[in-house]
A = this chain, B = another copy of it.
Amino acid sequence: MNSNPTADIRSLVLQHWALANARDWAQFALLLAPDLLYEVPQTRERVLGRAGYVDFFATWPVPWKVDVVKCIADEQSALTLIEFQSAEPPMTGLTIFEASGGLITKVTDYWPSAYEPTPRASSHVQRY
């Protein structure tokens, strides 16, 4: 088991996306806890374990690349806001990472998509 307690979480999650973009699955796997849990609450999809998570990424059927737009990190967790470049237009993803002992232990993905808003009571709401 790889363990790197000195790596901070910001660096860990930025490496996660950089190695995913590079399709370097051997190095990518070294960032992950063996019992990593991946969840997509919107679809109730789940992947359990490092090998499954790598396979989920490595078998993506179409070309893709991730641009990290923003990263917020504290001592236990990080949020990345990404643009997933594959289909057009790119998809916006929000990913919450949990880490422990320098390894990613949990990944929770959100994929918010465009929708038409309902009427608002406040006259201050504009469209852009």
A residues adjacent to B (C-beta < 8 A)? 39-49, 51-53, 55-56, 58-61, 70, 72-74, 77-79, 81, 92, 94, 96, 110-117, 120-128
Contact = CB atoms under 8 A, between A and B. Distances in A.
A83 B96 CA distance: 16
B117 A55 contact: no
Given A72-B78, A72-B96, A112-B112, A122 B40 contact: no
Contact of A120 (B39, B56, B120, B128): B56
Contact of A48 (B45, B114, B123, B126): B126
A42 to B, nearest CB: 5
A110 B46 CA distance: 21
Q: How many copies does the complex hold?
A: 2
Contacts of A125: 45-47, 52, 56
Closest 10 CB pairs of A and B: A52-B124, A59-B121, A43-B117, A79-B79, A112-B112, A110-B112, A56-B122, A59-B122, A55-B122, A72-B77
A112 B56 contact: no
